[in-house]
Amino acid sequence: MQRTFLAFQRNAHLHTLQTVVTAVKSIASLEETNKALFKQATDEDHVVVTEQTIFHPQGGGQPSDVGVMKSDSGNVIFDVLSVRMCTVNEGQVIHFGRFFTDDSKKTIAASSAFKTGDKITQTIDSAKRELYSRYHTAGHVLGAAVRHLLENEIDGFDELKASHFPDSAACEFQGLIEGKWKEAIQTRLDTYVEKDMPVEIDWWDEEDFRAHGLERLIPDRKAMGMTDDENFRVVNIVGAEAYPCGGTHVDSTMMCGKTNVRKISRAKGTSRVSYALP
């Protein structure tokens, strides 16, 4: 099956989109690795695949979007509860949820659900998208602040990974960051947010990373299932840092809002700097 076109990566301001259904599957018919993505599923649940999607699938430290899909020729609604990348078909996005009619929250039989080729309209939960985008951008701003402040102060320093989930947001770093740095990190972070730095989406190849002195960030093309002529999506916080990233973001650092450094914890040679938004 063909890859799902990730419309949200080209325009994160799209909160509705008309597209076409390419597959509808019951949970029972899924491969075991895909079933494992939806541990809360019941026999009433399904997955829907579409040609394009504005739903960000969970990954890269960001929660998945939620929302609905509605048939253009009837009153059938698919309540999208979670979104993931398929474990079997490269580049395919699977939307998990339940079918019902728009005049009732009662689930309906699969025979009354979407069919392959149906035109449907996707609508995401805008409030959650905005929250997740603010957290994701704030995490990148925090990472940039810590790097620029401490990369020459901490032995073996490097950025490792991050979680941008609202209840567990944190950035992890190689090296031991002592608690005495918390105030300085907060000050640098506040400076970046208040500067209202633009957050731009670019598309780079390997040479672009080298030209910006960011060879260390060049992604593994093969591991990402990318062809040789595809470019990498890059989120550029103008004046701070650029990161390869497939997630959604706000348009400027100011839009993150006050970003509070909660605590710094250390274990086994790594440090975790947690943060929260109001």
Judgement on whether residues 51 and 172 belong to the same structural domain of the protein: no
Q: What pLDDT, on the 0 to 100 scale, is given for residue 172?
A: 98
What CATH number is associated with residue 168?
3.30.980.10
CA distances to 11, 107, 199 from 116, in Å: 26, 19, 38
Determine the pLDDT at residue 224.
82
What's the pLDDT tens digit per position in 120-163? Answer: 999 999 999 999 999 999 999 999 999 999 999 999 999 999 99
Closest CA to 39 of 78, 80, 85, 82: 82
Expressed as residue numbers, the domain containing 114 is: 5-124
Residues 4/92, Cβ–Cβ less than 8 Å = yes
pLDDT of residue 101: 83
Which comes out higher in pLDDT, residue 222 or 242?
242
80 and 93 belong to one structural domain: yes
Look at residue 265 in the predicted model and tell me its pLDDT. Answer: 98
113 pLDDT above the threshold of 70: yes
Task: Please tell me the distance from the alpha carbon of residue 154 to that of residue 193, in angstroms, as a whole number.
Answer: 24
> Mean pLDDT, the chain, as a whole number?
94
pLDDT digits (tens, 9 = 90+) for 22-67: 999 999 999 999 999 999 898 889 999 999 999 999 999 999 999 9
pLDDT at 199 over 70: yes
Please state, in angstroms and rounded to a whole number, the distance separating the CA atoms of residues 73 and 119: 8
Domain end position, chosen among 124, 152, 178: 124
Left, alpha or beta for 262 (phi > 0: left; psi -120 to 50: alpha)? alpha
Percent of the chain at pLDDT exceeding 70: 97
Of 124, 158, 186, which marks where a domain is finished? Answer: 124
Percent of the chain having pLDDT more than 90? 87
Q: How many domains does the chain have?
A: 2
Query: Residue 80 has which token pair?
Result: 């999208």
Query: Among 109, 124, 139, which residue terminates a domain?
Result: 124
Q: What residues contact residue 4 under an 8 Å CB cut-off, 6+ apart?
A: 49, 50, 51, 52, 53, 91, 92, 93
Query: What integer is the mean pLDDT of 198-210?
Result: 97
Do 56 and 183 lie in one domain? The reply is: no
